[in-house]
């Protein structure tokens, strides 16, 4: 008899936080939103009196519940908080998984931002590859006050492709083959952990193992066409964006070096700031960088609120 693995939940990810930080991770409510043939799942900690909203955007190895233990630390700090499961990830339900592309991620975020606009300034918080995704969506939307990103890896650059995949130095040589990924080949499912080196997700090796076995995150099956569409996406709108971008990069990120994110940031037209999260790995869970992340986001939220002096 084949035994199914127990489902991974937010508490499993919260166990990697410092003990004193784990208490706030459980409080959230669930909401569903229909977009095309997707039933999109969101986690929320609503605060209708907060002057600012924030939407958390995950990357390729996580989902809303995985990021919630960190995101929830911002609850009760004057921020109306939400986190979304992008198609193929988390609890979002998709009728045609084989047809999902990275462009769907961008389009879905833009439409979600429009659907939820209530006049309050919105901050997009992008983790890992969700960082540049958030900038792209913000640029296209025109409704975002600022973006906070833990990483700004541009998948079209040679160095980024070498570090983000398991192929290492061979990645740039194999990338021209992506143009052949179409038709039936694009529908072939592959596991995220086969492509991404999730062992570098955090300073604790156990975190990488958790992500890799999480069938809603790093252990998910995605169509090869999705991977190809991401690696070839030009992110031209992100580079031309004027939306303020705040890079808050983990100091001890063994997966995506900060220098690559800074290169991407320098190629943007956006006003920007950079903050180093001391002691943190790619998934920023350690102190003192975790507190620096909370402080940094609070400062961005205060700046956004001051720029939109409305009463709610």
DSSP output for 219-287: T-EEEHHHHHHHHH---HHHHH--S-EEEEEETT-SSS-HHHHHHHHHT--S-EEEEEETT--SS--ST
Query: pLDDT digits over 42-55, tens only?
Result: 999 999 999 999 99
Out of 30-39, 63-72, 154-163, 168-177, pick the least confident: 168-177
pLDDT at 86 over 60: yes
- Domain of residue 105, residue span: 11-305
Q: Is residue 270 in a domain?
A: yes
Q: Which residues contact 131 (CB under 8 A, 6 or more apart)?
A: 59, 147, 149, 150, 151, 152, 153, 247, 261
Q: Is residue 310 in a domain?
A: no
pTM of the model: 0.93
Query: pLDDT digits over 206-241, tens only?
Result: 999 999 999 999 999 999 999 999 988 999 999 999
Q: Is residue 5 in a domain?
A: no
More confident site: 195 or 62: 62
Confidence of residue 9 (pLDDT cuts 50, 70, 90): confident
Q: Is residue 154 in a domain?
A: yes
What pLDDT is attached to residue 263? 96
CATH number for position 294: 3.40.50.1820
Name the token pair of 14: 């919260």
Q: Is residue 111 in a domain?
A: yes
Confidence of residue 309 (pLDDT cuts 50, 70, 90): low
Query: pLDDT digits over 267-307, tens only?
Result: 999 999 999 999 999 999 999 999 999 999 999 999 999 98
Average pLDDT over residues 120-131: 98
What pLDDT is attached to residue 170? 55
CA–CA dist 188, 99 (Å, integer): 10
Beta bridge partners of 250: 277
Q: Is residue 2 in a domain?
A: no
What pLDDT is attached to residue 48? 93
How close are the terminal C-alpha atoms of the chain, in Å? 57
pLDDT at 254 over 50: yes
Alpha helices in 30-183 (DSSP H): 64-71, 102-116, 130-141, 158-164, 171-174
Share the mean pLDDT of the chain.
91
What pLDDT is attached to residue 160? 87
pLDDT at 28 over 90: no
What pLDDT is attached to residue 178? 64
CA–CA dist 215, 41 (Å, integer): 16
Query: Tokens 């700090």 identify what position?
Result: 77
Q: Is residue 4 in a domain?
A: no
Query: pLDDT digits over 140-186, tens only?
Result: 999 999 999 999 999 988 888 888 876 666 556 566 656 666 787 78
Q: Is residue 6 in a domain?
A: no
What pLDDT is attached to residue 179? 65
What pLDDT is attached to residue 169? 61
Average pLDDT over residues 79-87: 97
Give the single-character DSSP code of 175: G
Confidence of residue 64 (pLDDT cuts 50, 70, 90): very high
**Structural domains in the chain (count):** 1
What pLDDT is attached to residue 3? 41
């Amino acid at each position: 008899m084949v035994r199914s693995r127990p489902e991974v939940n937010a508490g499993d990810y919260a166990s990697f936080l410092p003990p004193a930080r784990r208490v706030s991770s459980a409080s959230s409510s669930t909401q569903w939103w229909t977009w095309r043939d997707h039933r999109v799942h969101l986690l929320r900690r609503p605060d209708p009196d907060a002057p600012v909203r924030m939407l958390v955007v995950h990357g390729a190895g996580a989902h809303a519940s995985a990021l919630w233990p960190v995101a929830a630390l911002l609850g009760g700090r004057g921020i109306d908080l939400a986190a979304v499961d992008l198609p193929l990830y988390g609890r979002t339900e998709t009728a045609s998984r084989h047809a999902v592309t990275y462009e769907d991620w961008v389009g879905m975020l833009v439409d979600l931002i429009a659907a939820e606009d209530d006049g309050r300034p919105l901050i997009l918080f992008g983790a890992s590859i969700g960082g540049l995704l958030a900038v792209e969506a913000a640029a296209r939307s025109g409704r975002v006050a600022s973006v906070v990103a833990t990483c700004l890896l541009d998948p079209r650059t040679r160095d980024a492709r070498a570090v983000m995949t398991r192929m290492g130095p061979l990645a740039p040589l194999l990338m021209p083959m992506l143009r052949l990924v179409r038709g039936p080949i694009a529908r072939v499912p592959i596991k995220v952990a086969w492509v991404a080196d999730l062992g570098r997700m955090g300073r604790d090796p156990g975190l990488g193992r958790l992500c890799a076995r999480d069938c809603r995150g790093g252990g998910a099956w995605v169509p090869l066409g999705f991977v190809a569409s991401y690696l070839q996406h030009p992110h031209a709108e992100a580079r031309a964006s004027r939306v303020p971008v705040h890079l808050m990069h983990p100091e001890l990120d063994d997966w995506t070096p900060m220098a690559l994110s800074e290169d991407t940031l320098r190629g943007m037209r956006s006003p920007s700031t950079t903050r180093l999260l001391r002691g943190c790995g790619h998934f920023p869970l350690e102190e003192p960088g975790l507190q620096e992340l909370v402080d940094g986001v609070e400062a961005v939220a205060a700046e956004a609120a001051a720029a939109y002096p409305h009463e709610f």
